[in-house]
Structure 1
Amino acid sequence: MKTMMYLWCLAGLCLAPFARAQQTLTVVSGQVTDAVTGEPLTGATVALKASVGSTQTGADGKFQLSQVPANAILVASFVGYGMEEVAVKGQTNVQIALQPQSALDEVVVVGYGTQQRKDVTGAVASVSAAQLEKQPAASMDMLLQGKASGVQISQSSGAPGGRATIRIRGASSVNAGNEPLLVVDGIPMYNSSKDPGGTSYGTFSATNALASINPNDIQSVEVLKDASATAIYGSRGSNGVLIITTKRGKSGSAQVNYNGYYGWQRPHTKLDLMNGEEHAEFLNDWAGASDLPAPFDNPQAIGQGTDWQDLIFRQAGMTDHQVSISGGTENTRYFISGNYFNQDGIVINSGMERYALRFNIDQQINQRLKFIQSLTFNRTINRSVPIANAGSDNVRSAGERAYTASPTATLFDEDDAYTTNWYGISKPESPVNSLLTTRNRLEGDNLLGNMGLEYTIAEGLTAKSSIGVNLMNRANEEFYPGETTYIGGLFGGLGILANRRITNILNENVVTYRTSFADRHRLEATGGFTWQTETNRSSSTQPTGFPNDLLGTDAIGGTTGTPVIDSDLSDWSIASFLARVNYQFNDRLLATATIRADGSSKFAKGNQWGYFPSVALGYRLSEEDFIKNTGVWDDLKIRGSYGVTGNQEIGNYQSLARLVTDLLYIFDNQLINGARQTSLANQTLTWEKSAQWDVGFDMGFWNNRLRLVFDYYKKNTHDLLFTINLPAYSGYRTALYNTGQLENRGVEIELSADLFQNDFTWSVQGNYAYNRAKMVSLGRSGSTSLFLGYAPGVNLSYIYEGIFHNDAEIAAQSYQTGVQPGDIRYKDVNNDGQFNADDRGIVGNPQPKHIFGLNNQLAYKGLSLGIFLQGELGREGNRISRLFDPSEVASNKAHELVNRWSPDNPNGTLPRAGVGNWLSSTYLLQDMSYIKLRNVQLGYQVPGRIVGIRSLQVYLSGQNLVTFTRDGFFGYDPDGGNGYPTASTVLLGLNIGF
């Protein structure tokens, strides 16, 4: 009997290939449509289940598959729609209708798991790949700007790869870190610069960690805002969390995609400055007020003079190329991409290159075990220029060189050498030649990887263990030539060679249990242990006295100065236990409870563990009959949360007594290296903690074509880290302590609507946020720059009230003495008849009162148009002081000062040249509000399929094209710095799918 069974099995195995060969294979065609509107869906994927065969629909929604078995099952999918399986059953024409997927059913990535949107109880905003792909960008932060409520992103520098500042629900700290935690494919990190040190006088742009991440690889970004969402990250959740998920492969035949563009950049704006004749007249007036001879006999002969902005700024190109391949089988899925990005800066001698490779794989080893891997390697090369002044202005920013250099000076002197001096300047160097010859090259290699195993222990019970690494190597080379730069001239050439190596290792172990019972209860419990450590090593040498400027730092062996040599080693680690429970009753009542315990090496023994709990409740009223029967709401959910999160970003070893070995002592007539203690130990140093509560609601109307999300929150951060003054007898000046409180409260609104959904489609997404910050307590800080009831960053300043035009106006008041016509009139704030420091007032609002974004997407058949607006209102800042200070002579001036007071212009409205009572005042304060046309993109999707090409789109994109500001705003961009202006860009791009 057994022999017969073996023979039958052997025969079956031998005949199986022939049976498959005999199976009828045919060509199947059909159409994929919207189940609601009946409209064809372009670009939908149709695949053979459990096979690698797949295709995509054309502009008419039609598809065709060859080699299809008669008993095959077709699987159709499309972004925004549910998946549909249809049995072929011998048919040659198959019609497939896909149901639109409700926004409530979309999956949201939360800490250590995912949830459907309808089940989320916390404040979580999502930005999908479809939204990100509408705007080409160099880095992720540029894509996120204006896309999520409560998220403020400021481009502090327009330099390629320059760092951006990200704030979620305002700044939670004064002295500790305020950047949100980034979680990239499960690896926590910060957008802090990891660059090695520069020279003692260097001011080059700190690079943006996000610029090393290829934005084309990003699938989605989730913004966790309230304590319920962020408490799962415990001591690193106070500033919010950005979860970045990269693209992964899908089952089906291999799909190859090319995305590329070429762009043209130009400075977004030019400052309105004095020309040569006007500045010469100003200098003559200044000299006359100072009893000096006039430096220019005939200002009119100078004419327009030299426009240094035109010489330092330029039009520049940028290009981006990406090739990706993805696909796989039911058990193995992959996504592989390669990217090359090159951006020349709009400032001469600046730019950035990025090379990036990514390999993501999902392997179902068997029914219970799954392997998951995310791996990326990138290399960046930055050519930087100074973006801020340093070393008592011995090094000036690129922007300042452009706007302060006198237009009376020429680019070259009579000997065809670069001009290095003009009237009033004390540190001569050519604004152009110093930039061209200064060298700063920062190279960085970054390996970011995470791999893990997920095992299904039993039904509903899974365990996942992963290992992540973030390996960074940075090398910086700076050189200031002795002949062409002022700082280089002081030292006979100044250079630096610096290196930094960072090793960050992460281990996470998480168990998740999901179950439902009694048809009305659903439960999900997550628990885990994580451990992360980082080691940071750096070294540098700063040589001076170079034999010549030709070889720069390549001639370091021939330097004659005493080099400054430095090295550093630091490390930190954190161990954590976490737990979260999600409970649902009858799809109506929702509850989430979270707790995380963190032990950090950054704090003293006995005070290293912190505990961060949160709880959230939600009620889906839309599931109740009395709501359903109204016919108004498709979704109505109210929710509330409360929790505590922490901030450990205080630097390493702050709780310890620290020594430095920078002193030399003389013993027995010999120099001996010595050490001295620079700080006291603080065994009580601990986390800044933020207690936050949030109430909100989610609404959906008319089949969720109109959606509204509203949140009101209040966040109180206590135990702020302050450096407080110590009594002199302690032997130390200051110490770091926990003291003081800061409050943030605000409102967030997100509104989206699908206005048209036929041949012509029009969707709108808008968001708005209002945040108020104020110091609730200063504690023991003794700070003189912070004020109770005001936000950090306000100023104590004199109040400007115009100028004195004549002696009569001076005689009509008595509190300002020793002034003359053309001098500044200040306000007597306390009305005591005297003018002194007591007449200063608290002015300025460093944070915007309102931030918003508005995105319109319109399409008609193959044509598409995207228009994205973003803005901030109510923020104040100072104008460029040197351009408006008529008492200062070493720089050019704003054109406004042409209307200054002078004996020949007694009705002038601005202070006279050489004004005698110049003080820092609201004369410099200006409204920084703006509305910016961030992106306009016109695209065309070629209809149908072209031989060998699955899809083809061309587009024209304009970025940062127009900025609307308040009257009187003076600066390059209210959203960027003046050290390196922002650029306007036009891109021509191409997307091809094979």
Structure 2
Amino acid sequence: MKITLFFIFCLLMQLHAENTYSQTANVNLNGSSLTLQELISEIENQTDYLFIYSKHDVDLNQKLKIKAAGKTVADVLNKAFEGTGLNYKFTNNYISVYKKGTGDPEAVRQDGKKRTVTGRVTDVQGESIIGANVMDLKSKTGTITDIDGNFSLSVGENAVLVVSFIGYIEQRITVKGNAPLHIKLKEDTQKLDEVVVVGYGSMKKSDLTGSVVSLKADDISSPTNSSFVQMMQGRAAGVVVTQSSAQPGGAAAIKIRGTSSVNAGKTPLYVVDGFPIDNTNFYPGSGDVFDGPKKDPLNSINPSDIESMEVLKDASATAIYGSRAANGVILITTKKGKEGKARITFNSSFGTQVIAKRFDVLNGSEFAQVYNEMQVFNGRDPYYKDVESFGKGTDWFKEVTRTGMVTNHDVTMQGGNVNTKYLASGSYHRNDGIVKGSSFERYSFRLNLDQKISEKLNLTINSLLSNTTDNNIIAGTRAEDTGVLGGAYAFPSNVPIRNEEGKFSDNPHYVLMSNPVSLLDIDDKTRSRRVMLNALLNYTPTDYLFFKIQAGTDMQNAKREYYNPTTTRKGAGAGGIASVTTTQGASNLLEATATFKKNFGKHKLDVLAGYTYQDFLFEDLSAKATKFFTDYFGYNNIGIGEERPTVGTTKSKNVLISGIARANYNYDDRYLFTATFRADGSSKFEKSNRFGYFPSFSAAWRISNEAFMKDFTNLSNLKLRIGYGETGNQDIGNNSYMTLLGKGYVYIFGDRVASTLVPNNAGNPLLMWETAKQFNVGVDAGFFDNRISATLEYYQTTTDNLLLKFATPAYSGYASQWRNAGKIQNKGVEFTLNTRNISTRDFQWETTLTVTHNKNLWKDRAGLPLPQLGASEHDPVNAIYGYVFDGIWQEGDDIKGSAQPNSVPGNIRYADIGGRDENGEFKPGPDGKIDAADITYLGTPDPKVEFGFGNDLTYKNWNLNFFFNARVGGKTFNQFRSYYENPARVFEGVNAFKSVMDRWTPTHTDTHIHSGKSNPYGSEYNSLYIENTSFLRLKSVRLTYNTRIGAVPCSVYVDAQNVFTITDYTGYDPEVDGSYNGYPPCRTFMAGLRVSF
């Protein structure tokens, strides 16, 4: 396989661009009404002519009435331009189109100062633009750029050149002097005729009736991040990203338009080049690693390989994906080959990472002081005699952390000819994390081919080979297994790293707690490989009928090797612990679709129908052993462990078969209608419930194209959209509808051992899909040739028949059962504003603003028990509950006559807000005691409003891009404070925040930190530790200088991520979802070089 790819790669390097032209000047046109853009496309496709025009002078959407069969180009243009005010001119193979009266074609001939101007047209990164229009505004003569972006044009004195290319902002340049021109075009992100990818096809942005957001490569690519997911935050309205783990390669969770499920999957469906991928995190686990690493399966995809991403948000856009689309769909399109000579681009960057925030804990002397005081406070003698002798003690956090390093190298070769186009890329990414021993490394290779087999048959192959290696650090969730990071805060500062014998020191007060430095000796490595191969065969028998067959596979395997040596507390107790776990997964896809696309005068019809089959296979194998006579072999020879190795296996498969259909109807580019339907059959459900049906309907009205709007010349676009659709969620286990058997008790009969099988879950044959029903209405508007464009949307989504995991009674013998019950609702408003503030030859400035508001709640609990006695039927799904903090009990307070008669001065005081009536139901108001009835709703992590604000400024060769994201509202329980701002922890032998020096004492009462005295009513989960997670963050900044070294475009850049955050939240980071032992977020600074040749 590798040898074959190598030879293909070598063959592609020999390809050169070829130019071919049609040899006839006659054209045939279908229909009687075409836009100017459609007429130009038809003539360019059927002849060797190329058109040159200025989009400021020529309306490409202008309707023309013309019929032609075997007519010459001149005849066609004469007829088409009658009464339009347009004129044209032939210059060799070029046709200039312009308004009558805007220029004199003979002006140059009459001008004795005629001269030749030369130049080169590139994008902002210096890449040549092939086929760009260059026209003299006065004479209307023009040319197009060649394969290197060069042009030469004869012009008069004081000529003004109009330079344009599809997808880029047009520029006008006054010619001065004789020096060659270097003209840089900037991508036009506001184009209405931009083609965006939708499910099973593509369409013009102006024809969309659903809610789709398109992100380009520059929006989501950064050498800092191993995954594109982290770059999506704030860049698309309605999309919220939460970093589940900040460690290298750590996962990020995406929510599109709120939380739409409770126990089933909550992540969107990812589709890469038309292949729906299994994004299940089947990262090999280890029973000895508590709170093991949460890795992102999408790390296998190099962000630099991505051309664009489309986020499908409403059901009218996502329903075509049926049972997997309830959480939204993200379509990923990778870069493809381009016609032209081979171009190689090399991008290399290096950088450092520093900890964004750390917490101050008690130093050696302070810990000893507080520990002695807590001893006395609890009626014991002081433990330490000379507390000052410890000084600052050991900075455990410093001992386990470092300055992180990030390295990224990409090389891409792109090119081809009219028949074969190719892209080959290779990349290397490594991130050595800020915690010692943690790292992520990826090698990836991509080869995308587009082969024209005949005029009617085309083959596309997309392939990816990716290898990743993770070096993990133990995280931990319990006091005795706090992990490296938890131990760095929890281990007493007055204890040295090693004792007098040279061994790692133990905690004298908490012998079960591991020395955090010793945990760095644990070897925990995971190697993963992913191979994606996807082939598409397109057959076009006529110009209105298209057939496509797609077949592909996505294969993943991973191997996790873990060894806990005898130098750690736990490893020593077990004589060394070794485990090896391997996982394998594969998904196979087969699709066949047929598309009918034809124009009938003002009517445009686009109909698609198809069938898809996709299966998913998974299996794993794990082995574990203990009691090794030496640590030398690690996990490389499990068989030598004295304890008999334990082995486990798992194997499963599920299949999804589907029928799909979609119809788009467009009348006169004013009235647009879309209907979709999908039928899914899933093996995850019992035969009688196996099929689900998911329809959608949407419509749009392009008001700006109405005749009565022609006088509103500054209005470029105005479109109303409305839609309704249904999608599903089947993201649960493969066999939840069946009762499965598992290993039971072992019985001994004499010298024989008998194993048993017992049911380990309660099956439910009535189980069926979750169904999300969504209504969406929106308006798109553009002003001043779309220099200002905006989108405003309102949506409401109701998800019913929720897939919930119910606890079953103990006497049933089962732990749980999946059932359908309940209903939740999300509703919200989204706003996007794009502006092109300044656009001159030397300076361009663009801004983007996104605003998202979503409200989530339980609509119907369907008899489900409330999570707390005082909870509401319609609380948010992610509601936080706890006691209400009411201060600290003081000496002299009437404690005995209060609702907390067993408290003592220095304990936390709770508000008495509820009780029970005679039926045991919740009754608001004080009842004279603190119990479960006083636990109330304290907030939700979901923000009220989320913002994204980006700016892109270009001045000559310099480009500055910076992006802010912000969040208003949203609350979280600060586990750091609740755990480490507790003086009682010190009495247990756990270090604490320095703030406990401000704890309550009989002589220091003005504080919110309790004394540490045992509290019979608890002292942790209450409103004192509920914090607002509102913030403003400078997410990213990049400064780029574009230049040329000889004929080679070159870009030098510096890049910074997570630059600063303004927030009142006192935890690690308001966006990072983590416990008090979580991986700390970082600031990253990079410098890089990009060269093309």
Alignment of 1:631-642 (within 5 A): 631-642=713-724
- The structural deviation recorded for 1:916 is 2.9
The whole-number CA distance in structure 1 between the counterparts of 2:476 and 2:661 is 45
In the TM superposition, what is the alpha-carbon distance from 1:495 to its structure 2 partner?
A: 1.7
1:93 CA drift (Å): 12
Structure 2 partner of 1:847: 942
Work out whether residues 242 and 1071 of structure 2, in 8 Å CA contact, stay in contact via their aligned partners in 1.
no
- The question of 1:290 aligning with 2:378 is answered yes
What TM-score, normalized by structure 2, do the two folds share? 0.82
**Counterpart selection for 1:316 from 383, 386, 404:** 404
CA drift at 1:295: 2.0
Shift of residue 981 of structure 1?
A: 0.8
Cα pair 2:121 2:145 within 8 Å, conserved: no
Partner in structure 2 of residue 882 of structure 1: 979
Range with greater deviation from structure 2 (470-479 or 776-785) = 776-785
For 1:909 and 1:579, how far apart are their aligned partners in 2? Answer: 62
The code of the aligned residue for 2:538 comes to: E
Separation in structure 1 between the aligned mates of residue 826 and residue 602 of structure 2, nearest angstrom? 39
**CA deviation vs aligned residue, 1:100-126 (integer Å, no higher than 9, x gap):** 785211111000000111110001011
Deviations 1:27-54 (A, max 9, x none): xxxxx998759999543645489xx995
Number of aligned residue pairs: give it.
932
Q: CA deviation at 1:749?
A: 0.8
Contact 2:190 2:787 in 1 (8 A): no
1:562 Cα shift?
2.7
Q: Quick check: 236-245 or 632-641, which moved more?
A: 632-641
1:938-984: per-residue Cα shift (whole Å, max 9, x none)?
11011xx43351x1010111111111111x52335543535111111
Aligned to 1:962: 1060
Shift in CA distance, 97/262, structure 1 to aligned 2, threshold 3 Å: closer
1:734-773 correspondence runs (5 A): 734-758=816-840, 759-773=842-856
Residue 914 of structure 1: how far off its partner (Å): 2.9
Aligned partner of 1:873 among 968, 971, 976? 968
> 1:790: which partner in 2?
875
- Displacement, 1:662? 4.0
Query: What TM-score comes out, normalization by structure 1 length?
Result: 0.89
- What are the Cα deviations for residues 600-641 of structure 1, in whole angstroms up to 9, with x where unaligned? 000001110000000001101111133331334211111111
Aligned to 2:631, the other structure's residue is in SS state coil
Distance 1:490-1:257 versus aligned 2 partners, 3 A rule: same
Q: How does 1:172-321 map to 2 (within 5 A)?
A: 172-321=260-409
The answer (yes or no) to whether the contact 1:182–1:241 under 8 Å persists in 2 is yes
The residue type paired with residue 498 of structure 1 is: T
Q: Return 267-276 or 466-475, whichever deviates more.
A: 267-276
Alpha carbons of structure 1 residues 333 and 914: separation in structure 2 relative to 1, 3 Å: same
Paired residues for 1:96-495 under 5 Å: 103-133=191-221, 136-389=224-477, 393-422=479-508, 424-434=509-519, 436-484=520-568, 486-495=569-578
Give the share of equivalent positions with the same residue, in percent. 33
Q: Which of 1050, 1074, 1079 is the matching residue for 1:952?
A: 1050
Partners of 2:398 and 2:744 in 1: how far apart?
45
2:596 corresponds to which of 500, 513, 520: 513
| Aligned: 1:568 with 2:650 | yes
Counterpart Cα distance in 2 of 1:157 and 1:118: 39
Corresponding position: 1:664 with 2:752 = no
Measured after TM superposition, the shift of residue 902 of structure 1 is 1.3
Give 2:983's aligned amino acid.
P
The structural deviation recorded for 1:432 is 1.0
Q: Which residue of 2 aligns with 1:14?
A: none
Q: CA RMSD in A?
A: 2.8
2:175 aligned partner: none
Residue 643 of structure 1 pairs with residue 725 of structure 2: yes
Match of 2:679 in 1: 597
The aligned counterpart of 1:15 is: none
Give the match for residue 934 of structure 1. Answer: 1035
> Would the alpha carbon gap of residues 36 and 784 (structure 1) be closer, same or farther in structure 2, given more than 3 Å must change?
same
Residue 66 of structure 2: aligned partner: none
Range with greater deviation from structure 2 (796-805 or 889-898): 889-898
Question: Which residue pairs with 1:688 in the alignment?
Answer: 770
Aligned residue for 1:980, secondary structure, equals coil
From the superposition, tell whether residues 793 and 141 of structure 1 become closer, same or farther in structure 2 (CA, over 3 Å): same
Give the aligned partner of residue 787 of structure 2.
705
Partner of 2:901: 817
Asked if structure 2 preserves the Cα contact closer than 8 Å seen for 1:852 and 1:870, the reply is yes
State the shift of 1:130 in Å. 3.3
CA distance in 1, matches of 2:811, 2:562: 42
Q: Aligned partners of 2:938, 2:120: CA distance in 1, in Å?
A: 59
Alpha-carbon offset, residue 840 of structure 1? 1.4
Contact 1:591 1:617 in 2 (8 A): yes
Q: Measured at CA, do residues 491 and 472 of structure 1 come closer, stay the same or move farther in structure 2, by a change above 3 Å?
A: same
**Inter-partner Cα distance in structure 2 for 1:639 and 1:741:** 27
CA contact (8 A) 2:827 2:854 kept: yes
C-alpha spacing 1:895/1:82, structure 2 compared with 1 (3 Å): same
Q: Which residue of the partner structure matches residue 653 of structure 1?
A: 735
What is the CA-CA distance between 1:346 and the residue it aligns to? 0.6
Q: Which amino acid aligns with 2:908?
A: I
* Preserved contact between residue 34 and residue 97 of structure 1 (Cα < 8 Å): no
Counterparts of 1:109 and 1:79 in 2: how far apart (Å)?
15
State the distance in 2 between where 1:316 and 1:922 align: 36
User: How far is 1:521 from its partner?
Assistant: 0.6
The 3 A distance-change label for structure 1 pair 749 and 360 is same
In the alignment, does 2:585 pair up with 1:502? yes
Name the amino acid aligned to 2:885.
Answer: Y
Match of 2:712 among 630, 638, 651: 630
1:828 aligns with 2:828: no
Give the direction of change, closer, same or farther, for the CA distance of 1:488–1:97 in structure 2 (3 Å limit).
closer
Deviation larger for 750-759 or 789-798 = 789-798
* Structure 2 match to 1:679: 761
Unpaired runs of at least 5, structure 1: 1-19, 21-31, 66-74, 85-91
More moved, 129-138 vs 602-611? 129-138
> Where does residue 28 of structure 1 map in the other structure?
none
Distance 1:923 1:113, change over 3 A: same
Structure 1 stretch displaced more, 869-878 or 218-227: 869-878
Alpha-carbon contact 2:828-2:854 (below 8 Å) kept = yes
Change (3 A) 1:591 1:214: same
Where does the alignment leave 5 or more consecutive residues of structure 2 unmatched?
A: 1-20, 22-51, 58-116, 133-143, 154-162, 173-179, 914-924
Are the structure 2 counterparts of residues 801 and 646 from structure 1 closer, same or farther at C-alpha, using a change threshold of 3 Å? same
Tell me what 1:913 maps to. 1012
The reply on whether 1:922 has 2:1023 as its aligned counterpart is yes
CA gap of 1:103–1:930, structure 2 versus 1, over 3 A, is same
Q: Say whether the 8 Å CA contact 1:33–1:96 is kept in structure 2.
A: no
Matched, 1:980 2:1079: yes
CA drift of 1:198 comes to 1.6
Q: Distance in 1 between matches of 2:170 and 2:434?
A: 46
Maintained 8 Å contact 2:535/2:550 = yes
Question: CA distance change for structure 1 residues 781 and 488 in 2, over 3 Å: closer, same or farther?
Answer: farther
Superposed displacement of residue 158, structure 1: 1.0
Residues 791/56 of structure 1: CA separation in 2 closer, same or farther (3 Å cut): farther
Q: How far is the alpha carbon of 1:837 from its aligned partner?
A: 2.1
Evaluate the alpha carbon distance shift between residue 189 and residue 147 of structure 1 in structure 2; reply closer, same or farther with a 3 A threshold: same
**Worse overlay, 120-129 or 818-827:** 818-827
Indicate if the aligned counterparts of 2:312 and 2:328 stay in contact, CA closer than 8 A.
Answer: yes
**Contact conserved, 2:794 with 2:830, CA < 8 A, in 1?**
yes
Q: Deviations over 1:837-870 (max 9, x none)?
A: 2211121212121212111111100011111111
Partner deviation per Cα, 1:186-206 (whole Å, 9 max, x = no partner): 111243312223235443213
1:94 and 1:778, CA in 2 relative to 1: closer, same or farther beyond 3 A? Answer: closer
Q: CA deviation at 1:64?
A: 7.2
For 1:817 and 1:562, how far apart are their aligned partners in 2?
A: 55
State the 1:815 CA deviation. 2.0
- Cα distance in 2, alignment partners of residues 855 and 135 from structure 1: 18
Q: Which amino acid aligns with 1:483?
A: T
Alpha-carbon deviations, 1:541-571, whole Å to 9, x = none? 0111121222211232211113221001100
